[in-house]
Amino acid sequence: MLNLALAVVCSVAIGAIFKHTGATDVDRTALLTVNYAAAVGVAGLLMWAGGRSTDAGLVLSPGLLALGGSVGVLLIAGFFLLSYATEVAGMSLAVGVMRVSAVIPFLASWWVWHEVPSVAQGGGMGLAACAFFLLAQKQRQAEPVPAGGADVARDPPVGSALGRVDWYAFGVLALTFIGGGSVDLSMKAFEEHFGAANSQVLFLLLVFGMAFLIGGGIVGARILRGQPWPSLRTVGWGVVLGVANYGSLEFLLRAVAELPGPFVFPANNIAIMVLSAGIGVFGWREQLTAKNKIGMGCAVVALVLLRL
C-alpha cells in the first residue's frame, strides 16, 4: 500500500506543479523538456546504481521505433495540454478529465481488438462519457464592469445554462481528454503487438527519451532564433517535475507487483482525482459547479466499473 500511496502523491504533485508554474514566467515547453531529461536520468541512475534488470529486453525494430516516436509526440503534447488545462480550467477539472480518459483504450479494445466488455465495463464506459461532459463544463466568469460603465456585468442571462459554459475551457479539456486517452491507447497497442518480446519499462524510457528529443528540438530552434535560454527557475521546476513523473511510474509498477491490478489502477486514478480536486478547491480556491461535482462522482464509479 505504501508504493500505491507514493504513486498517488507523485501524480498529484505533477498537477500541483503545473498549477503553480502556470502563474509564473516558466516556459512550458522547456519545463516539459527538462522534465523528460530528468525522468530518464533518474531511471538510468537507479538501474545503474542498483544493478536492476528488467523483465525483458527491447528489440528496436522499425515498428517499435515508429510507435515509440509517436507515443513521444503524444506524451509531450498530452502533458502540454494538461499543463495548459490546469491554467485555463483549474487543477480539479483538468486532472479529472485526464483520469476519466481511461475509457478511450477500453473503447479501442472493443472496436479494434474485439475484446467484448462485460456488462459492468459497458456501464463504466457510459458513465465515463457522462463524467467527461459534466467535468468539462467549467463555469464562465462574469466580466468586470468597467469604471463608469454599464450597471450590469457582461455575463450571460441567468436563464441561459449553455451561455454560462466556458466553451474555450471545454475545448481545452476535450483535447486533454483525447491526448490522455491516446497515450493509454498507444500503450495498449504496445502490449498487443510488442509486449511479448519487449520490456514495458524500457519502452517507457524510450518514449521519455523521444519526448525529450522532440522538446529539445523545439527549445533549440527557439534559441537559434535568438530567444533566451531556459531560466534557472524553469530548469529547477523541470527537474522536480521529472522526478515526480518518474516516481509516479516507478511506484505504480511496484504497487502492481504487490497488489492485484484490478484494485491498484482504479484506486490510483480515484485517489489522484479526489486529492487533486481537494487541493484545487481548498488550495487555489477553484470553484466547482453542481455538474462538476456530479461528474466527479460519475468518474469515480466509472473507474471502478471499468476494472470489473
pLDDT at 37: 94
pLDDT at 159: 43
56 within a domain of the structure (yes/no): yes
φ, ψ dihedrals at 18, nearest 5°: -60, -40
150 within a domain of the structure (yes/no): no
How far is it, in rounded angstroms, from Cα 107 to Cα 302?
13
168 within a domain of the structure (yes/no): yes
How far is it, in rounded angstroms, from Cα 33 to Cα 222?
13
149 within a domain of the structure (yes/no): no
148 within a domain of the structure (yes/no): no
pLDDT at 158: 42
95 within a domain of the structure (yes/no): yes
Nearest residue to 11 via CA among 262, 263, 274, 199: 274
Residue span of the structural domain in which 172 resides:
2-140+163-305
How far is it, in rounded angstroms, from Cα 262 to Cα 264?
6
Nine-digit cell string for 154: 457582461
CA dihedral 304, 191, 201, 249 (to 10 degrees): -20
**Counted domains in the chain:** 1
Q: What angle do CA 6, 172, 104 make, to 5 degrees?
A: 65
pLDDT at 231: 93
Helices 2-22, 232-258: axis angle to 10 degrees equals 160
CA dihedral 72, 77, 80, 81 (to 10 degrees): -140
pLDDT at 89: 94
158 within a domain of the structure (yes/no): no
pLDDT at 205: 85
pLDDT at 161: 46
146 within a domain of the structure (yes/no): no
pLDDT at 241: 96
Q: What is the pLDDT along the chain (308 residues), one digit of tens a residue?
A: 899 999 999 999 999 999 999 878 889 999 999 999 999 998 888 777 765 555 567 888 899 999 999 999 999 999 999 999 999 999 999 999 999 999 999 999 899 988 899 999 999 999 999 999 999 999 876 555 555 554 444 444 444 444 488 999 999 999 999 999 999 899 889 988 888 888 877 888 889 999 999 999 999 999 999 999 999 999 999 999 999 999 998 899 889 888 887 889 899 999 999 999 999 999 999 999 999 999 999 999 999 999 88
